[in-house]
Amino acid sequence: MKKSLLLALLIIVLAGLALGIYGAASFAGLTLPKGEDHPPVLVYGAPYLLVPGMRIEGAHLLERLDRLNYRLVVDEVRSPGEYRLEPDHVDIFLRGFPDLQLPATKIGLGLQEGQVTTITSLESGDEMFPVSIEPQLISGLRGSSRQVREWLPLDRIPKELVDTLLLIEDRRFFTHVGIDPVAVGRALWANLTKGGVVQGGSTITQQLAKNLFYSPQRTWTRKLKESIAALVLEAKYRKAEILESYLNEIYLGQVGSVSVYGVGEAAHRFFGKSVQELSIDEIAMIVGMVKGPNTYSPVRNPAVAKDRRNAVLQRLKEENRLSEAQWTVAVNQPIRVVVSQASLADAPYFVDYLLYQSEEMTGRALPDGARIYTTLDPVLQRLAQDALSSGLAKLEAAYPALKRKDEVLQGALVALDVRTGGILAMVGGRDYRQSQFNRVIQARRQPGSLFKPLVYLAAFEMGKDPAGQAMTPASLVADEPVTFESGTGQWSPQNYDHRFRGKVTFRTALEQSLNVPAVRIAQRVGTKRIAQVAHDLGIQGPLADNLSIALGSAAVSLLDITAAYAALAQGGIAIAPMPLREIVSSEGTPLWHNTTQRHQVVSRASAYLVTSLLKGVIERGTAVKAKALGLRGPVAGKTGTTDGYRDAWFIGYSPEIVIGVWVGFDDEHPVKLTGSQAALPIWTEFARQVISPDGVDFDVPSGVVAREVDPQTGQLATSKCPERFSEVFVEGTEPTVYCEVHGEGLWDRLKRSFGFF
């Protein structure tokens, strides 16, 4: 008996000693966070380069200044952040931006009919270049939680919210020492009778300790540690400090991929307002969520959230905190959740992708206070979001069958800087609040006819091989019935209209997006050569090693296929798309800097031939609708429609920008529309606002020549040909035979005799 008693005493002493040591260690190590302890990671868009020749309206200059809170003044600009607008000039006092070596500068933009003619210093009168407007802040993030709200001092949090929280969660908060014996006893009895941890008796201090220091797993060990930590916090800090920390750190659920912490951020995320503007029913909603943030989320479970809110309101009425009339008004309020797109970030899909890429590039998590400088153009991002949103709505209005009960029509848009590969705009879906799946990078779908230009590119590249057969835009290919043997049996490709046109030129075949000629060309070129060209241009993932590759049977992402088109616009130079420019620490120390990698993967001449064909797609082919919709300027592009009309695509580019659009359903239900019908209008709405109508045309590389040809035969046109077309060729591959169908005239024979074309 004595031994048992001594053993028990020894165990008690050792346990007490262990608890004392743990408590002492906790006292030294546990600290409450403060607002300045976790400075946010700041994400900026790209600075905007001002150049002579730009149009004020086309560059959206006034919107850019407004977004940066520049002030319009009527007199001379005197302070950074001011601008003056006159018919023949714009004066701007640019703010300095040390991270990017942008000094505060007074500049004057000389105007002529809305176009910038000169950029000069207002102080010296000297012409200036380059000159950039400082970047716009597009998002502020706090660690993995991606918080964007500031730390709220206790005196800025409404008394009604604090009182309601204490009433529901811990009414004896100001009298206990971190642990409430009454609440513990009640929870202990419930847990013993149920045979497990089913109810907590946690005080606010214990909840705070759990959130800050321990996992949410319900175990007796965690509960013990949490209780010790609560006692330590109560010993080290005043009640007001603990309450302030709790109100800023309490977890209150998810909004998309974003974790919501603190009542201030909850007010912003769920109701689109500051915490001071909350009504009593909204306060009750937030307080009610503490019990189960995702269970009682007004975004995920509005009906359950309303019941929980009303339970809190009922308690307030019982405690005489609300009158009968106030209670009646509050419980009858509908759930009005206002999760604005802007509250997540100006470009939420882009920011998600950016954070992933930043950790991939740097190999570590971003430190507190880091500043990320991106390639995003916030104005183009706004235009892209508007174009996609309005475009999808117009499609649903025009084609009511697209409005399904079980699935929402989706779309995606991405825009890249041709010269740098920088991502200028990225919209990964119709509504980030409803779906955070980024269809620009995560969705892999069949591109259909969008892949055909790469087949033609591989064909033109064969001309570099001395043993290869030179193929040109004027080469003829049979658009006639054909059957191929495949591993699954015989395959007879068909054109979309089930018609055949006989012999056609490569140009006609691509402009009209004919399937049979594309497959015949692929047979000549070889599928392995085509796949290699596609991979060199940046297409990721496996590609079919059969002739179906010509019709876009292999799944690709919108980002990859758009980057491949960017290489065509850049003269065969492949540049990996990139959202990042630079990352610096809170002290300004560079952590990472982008060095653009360029690879000449196909010849400039071959890339230009394909661009010329794709210009024809817009001028005469399947995308001719773009001109009717208001598109102007030098543009090349291609429609894409997959088998069964499941996906609709359009990618088009100018010498400066490439834009890709996809429309479809996530479950691959047919949209029953072509790329020209579904994707092209959205693309055009965006493109006509960002592509200059008087922009410079694509450069013609050396080694490319033009000849007048007969479009029926692909031979040199004669005076007797009813039609003639100026076609481009790699020098040495141009036709030398005059049209043998329509014949030669005297003048043609003389030109041939003397070697003139």
Q: Which of 63, 150, 160, 169 is catalytic?
A: 169
CA distances (Å), origin 750, targets 325, 709, 713, 740, 753: 102, 17, 21, 16, 5
Pair 133, 377: CB distance under 8 Å: no
Distance from C-alpha of 595 to C-alpha of 58, rounded to nearest angstrom:
29
- How many other β-carbons are positioned within 10 Å of the β-carbon of residue 390? 13
Which two three-digit tokens encode residue 749? Answer: 């024979």
Q: Which of 26, 227, 449, 612 is catalytic?
A: 449
Cis ω before 130 (30° cut-off from 0): yes
Q: Which residue has 């709790």 as its token pair?
A: 246
Distance from C-alpha of 8 to C-alpha of 6, rounded to nearest angstrom:
5
The greatest distance separating any two alpha carbons of the chain, rounded to the nearest whole angstrom, comes to 131
> Residue type for 162, please?
V
DSSP 737: S
- Residue 415's nearest CA partner among 651, 745, 178 is 651
Q: CA gyration radius for the chain?
A: 33
Distance from C-alpha of 91 to C-alpha of 108, rounded to nearest angstrom:
4
Pair 665, 649: CB distance under 8 Å: no
449 catalytic per annotation: yes
Pair 203, 180: CB distance under 8 Å: yes
- Residue 67's nearest CA partner among 45, 52, 93 is 45
Distance from C-alpha of 557 to C-alpha of 563, rounded to nearest angstrom:
10
Q: Which residue has 């990721």 as its token pair?
A: 540
Which two three-digit tokens encode residue 127? Answer: 């012409």
DSSP 46: P
Distance from C-alpha of 386 to C-alpha of 404, rounded to nearest angstrom:
22
Pair 698, 569: CB distance under 8 Å: yes
Distance from C-alpha of 102 to C-alpha of 274, rounded to nearest angstrom:
34
CA distances (Å), origin 154, targets 35, 84, 233, 262, 293: 12, 42, 17, 12, 22
169 catalytic per annotation: yes
Q: Which residue has 């811990």 as its token pair?
A: 170
Query: What phi, psi does 379 have (nearest 5°)?
Result: -70, -45
As a dihedral over the C-alpha atoms of residue 534, residue 536, residue 537, residue 538, rounded to 10 degrees, the angle is: 90
N- to C-terminal Cα distance for the chain? 119
The alpha helices in 50-203, defined as continuous H runs, are: 61-67, 159-169, 181-194
Q: Which residue has 């507190």 as its token pair?
A: 368
- Residue 414's nearest CA partner among 444, 445, 446, 438 is 438
- Residue 675's nearest CA partner among 449, 499, 454 is 449
Distance from C-alpha of 193 to C-alpha of 189, rounded to nearest angstrom:
6
- Residue 298's nearest CA partner among 265, 248, 255, 348 is 255
User: Exposure pattern of 145-171 as b/e (b: 16+ CB <10 Å)?
Assistant: bbbbbebbeeeebbebbbbbbbbbbbe
Q: Which residues are catalytic?
A: 169, 449
